[in-house]
Chains A and B, each alone.
Chain A
Amino acid sequence: MNKVQSAQEAVSQIKSGMTIGIGGWGPRRKPMALIRELLRSDVQDLTLVSYGGADVGMLCAAGKVRKVVYAFVSLDFIPLEPYFRLARQQGDIEVMELDEGLMLLGLRAAAWRLPYIPTAIGLGTDVIRHCPDLKVIDSPYDDKEWLAMPALNLDVSLLHVDRADARGVCQIKGPDLYMDDWFARAANSTLVSCEELVETDYFHAGDEARYVFWERAQTQAVVPIAGGAHPSSCNPEYGFDVNHFKAYAASVKEGGFDAYRSRFLSGTDEQDYQQAVGGLEAIQALPLPVY
């Protein structure tokens, strides 16, 4: 079995109108090379489900998004994602604003093939009031009301990991896998970019297999792209690119996304992008964040 594909091959599965889950968290371990491939495609009308960062901002800026399902969209040290903010304030996109944990429950419901998971999260807040898709139900076991968080069924999930083999065994060595395992399980098809393609016996040694958080049956494509999370971090390989994010954020007032695009995304592939940001070695030398 060989699931290795080029970014272009993998992303060609994504069709207009699909619901796409994106792994990572804010500026951390985002599948940005796959996002960039999506930016090069003519796909549009997407629904995004993400613990959002520049992945959401860039796709919104490029006009590829119909709806965003989110609890936040943030670059952390730059709290407000500039292009998501712009899209919202222009009324460009539909939204389903959730709580972070509510989104996790929606992914779990999809992963477990349940229609919903009952929870108290969101009761008493505008999360319910603004979102007609969130229903409040009675419990057969008590007299309280409960929010029925619907399954967030995904057509495709995009993830970035440290290592994978050709059969789709994926390893995350960083301190947090975020919700990537749930994104993998909630999707019909999960496309994973990786820093390094390894032989299967890599996982046989020591406790390497302990850092594998979902079964290979949940991974449909493996795309080797070292540096593919840039400008987000891929701890422990490299940190996020503070200067790049600053330039990205500044571009919203200096020429807009077209300016960012012509500076960094005018090439035809990821190699061109990496040249434009100083090369793979520069990416791999980015220091890890200290919180």
Chain B
Amino acid sequence: MMNQTVQDYSLAELMIAAAADAFRGDGEVLATGIGLLPRLAASLAMKTCNPDMMMTDSEAYLLSEPNPVSGRKSHAGQAQETWMGFSRIFDNVWSGKRHAMVGPSQIDRYGQTNISALGGTYQQPKVQMLGARGFPGNSISHANSFFVPAHSKRVFVEDECDVVCSVGYNPQRLPRGYTLDDIDIRLVITDLCVMDWNGPQHMLQLISLHPGISVEQVLDNTGFEVQVPAQVPTTAAPTPLQMEIIGQMDPLNLRARQLKDNPPGDRR
């Protein structure tokens, strides 16, 4: 049963299953998935490949069992085990026992990211976005993975990010006393493929292509060079067990509204 895969699954469900794998082998770390699909991925991981993981209620408590992302009317009755307000979150971040999965607006060839602003100057950006939020501290303190709902050159930019919010594998910016191996960027899950930063000199490299997606599609939509191995496997379809858990974690199927037109997972 575990090794079977399902025939009928959405791209969102494929991405959730692929993203859950980012937390395999992490052990007792706080997994933080920012956004509905990354949060579902972390929840799925906690229910399958990494039961030792920790998650929060996205408010102020650590949970023994992840909360469903939909269908809840309150936080009452949740499986809370530890108070985890914002200031405690930073104690955890700086301890290194965390793995965040975030959705940057820009990612460059060094794995540096941007959620702060686009264009213009520091004094007057063309487009003000969120600000650096916790990206600088996260990136120097613990593991990070990236979740990209629309793989394009607008996200995977040709040049450096407009505002570098997180430290990456850029020798020019590496702080004194650090090596590139001190930086810990894990998986990149997009609507086209799964990648990591384990190419030569921490280049972005292709790990698997989603069913029906070609290498050319990935390269055409990435603003910088990607290492492509001789053989690129196809991203594994979700198993029936994974699909069942995803359904339990999102009974109202909010995941169907996260990607434009809710495409099927298999696009062959």
Question: In whole angstroms, how far apart are the Cα atoms of A85 and B126 in the complex?
Answer: 10
B141 within 8 A of A: yes
Q: Which of B130, B137, B170 contacts A121 (CB 8 A)?
A: B137
In whole angstroms, how far apart are the Cα atoms of A201 and B142 in the complex?
45
Known: A71-B132, A72-B131, A123-B140. A88 touches B117 (CB 8 A): yes
- Cβ of A100 and Cβ of B124 under 8 Å apart? no
Are A122 and B136 neighbours in the complex by a CB distance under 8 Å?
yes
Please give the distance in Å from A50's CB to the nearest CB on chain B: 11
**Which chain A residues numbered 73 to 110 have a C-beta less than 8 Å away from chain B?**
73-74, 79-80, 84-85, 88-91, 94-95, 97-102, 104
> Which of B87, B122, B178 lies in contact with A130, CB distance below 8 A?
B122
Smallest CB-CB separation from A127: which chain B residue? B136
Enumerate B105-141 residues with CB–CB distance to A below 8 Å.
112, 116-117, 120-137, 139-141
Least distance between A79 CB and chain B CB atoms (Å): 6
Of A14-22, A138-146, A215-223, A248-256, the one touching chain B:
A138-146
B25 in the interface (beta carbon within 8 A): no
CB within 8 Å for A124 and B173 given contacts A80-B130, A89-B128, A104-B90: yes
Q: Is B90 a contact partner of A101 (Cβ separation < 8 A)?
A: yes
Interface of A is mostly: loop
Specify which chain A residues have a CB less than 8 angstroms from the CB of B168 in the assembled complex: 124
Is the CB of B243 closer than 8 A to any CB of chain A?
no
Are B123 and A97 touching (Cβ within 8 A)? no
How far does the alpha carbon of A182 sit from the alpha carbon of B90 in the complex, in Å? Answer: 14
A84 — nearest CB in chain B belongs to which residue? B128
Q: Could you say which of A39-47, A159-167, A170-178 contacts chain B?
A: A170-178
Q: Which of A79, A99, A126 is the one whose CB lies under 8 Å from B137?
A: A99
In the complex, chain A residues whose CB is within 8 Å of the CB of B101: none
Which residues of chain A have C-beta atoms less than 8 A from B141's C-beta? 120-121
In the bound complex, what is the Cα–Cα distance between A183 and B47 (angstroms)? 39
Q: A135 to B5: give the CA distance in the assembly, Å.
A: 54
The reply to whether A74 and B90 form a contact with Cβ atoms under 8 Å apart is no
**Please, which residue of chain B has its CB at the minimum distance from the CB of A94?**
B123
Whether A99 contacts B122 in the complex (CB less than 8 A), given A124-B173, A125-B164, A177-B85, comes out as no
- Select the stretch in B58-66, B197-205, B230-238 that faces chain A: B58-66
The yes or no answer to B175 lying at the interface (CB within 8 A) is yes
A290:B73 contact, CB within 8 angstroms: yes
Q: A285 contacts the other chain (Cβ, under 8 Å)?
A: no
Q: Please, which residue of chain A has its CB at the minimum distance from the CB of B110?
A: A124
A56 to B179, CA, bound (A): 39
How many Å lie between the Cα of A121 and that of B166 in the bound state?
10
Q: Is the CB of A125 within 8 A of B86?
A: no
- Tell me whether A179 and B165 are in contact in the complex, defined as CB-CB below 8 angstroms, given that A71-B134, A72-B130, A145-B175 are known contacts: no
Q: Are B124 and A126 within 8 A (Cβ)?
A: no
Which of under 10, 10 to 19, 20 to 34, or 35 or more describes the interface residues of A?
Answer: 35 or more
Q: A102-B137, A125-B139 are in contact. Are A290 and B124 (CB under 8 A)?
A: no
Q: From B160, which residue of chain A is reached at the shortest CB distance?
A: A126
Give the residue of B129, B136, B166, B177 whose beta carbon is less than 8 angstroms from that of A143: B177
Minimum Cβ distance to chain B for residue A47 (Å): 16
Q: How far is the CB of B135 from chain A (nearest CB, A)?
A: 7
Query: Which residues of A from 209 to 246 have beta carbons under 8 Å from B?
Result: none
- Establish whether residues B61 and A102, one from each chain, have CB atoms under 8 Å apart when the complex forms: no
* Contact between chains at A290 and B72 (CB < 8 Å): yes
A-chain residues with CB within 8 Å of residue B131 when the two chains form the complex: 70-74, 97
- The reply to whether B132 and A127 contact each other, CB–CB distance below 8 Å, is yes
A282 at the interface (CB under 8 A from B): no
Alpha-carbon distance between A130 and B136 when the two chains are bound, in angstroms: 13
Tell me if A89 and B59 are in contact (CB < 8 A): no
Cβ < 8 Å to B, chain A residues 239-291: 288, 290-291
Q: Using known A-B contacts A88-B128, A123-B140, A127-B132, determine if residue A288 contacts B175 with beta carbons closer than 8 Å.
A: no
Q: List 17 A-B contacts (CB under 8 A).
A: A72-B130, A72-B133, A88-B117, A89-B120, A89-B124, A90-B124, A91-B121, A94-B123, A99-B132, A99-B133, A101-B134, A121-B137, A123-B175, A125-B112, A144-B175, A175-B61, A288-B74
- B residues at A contact (CB < 8 Å): 57-61, 72-75, 85-87, 90, 93-94, 112, 116-117, 120-137, 139-141, 163-168, 170, 173-178
- CB-based closest 4 A-B pairs: A144-B177, A91-B124, A124-B167, A175-B60
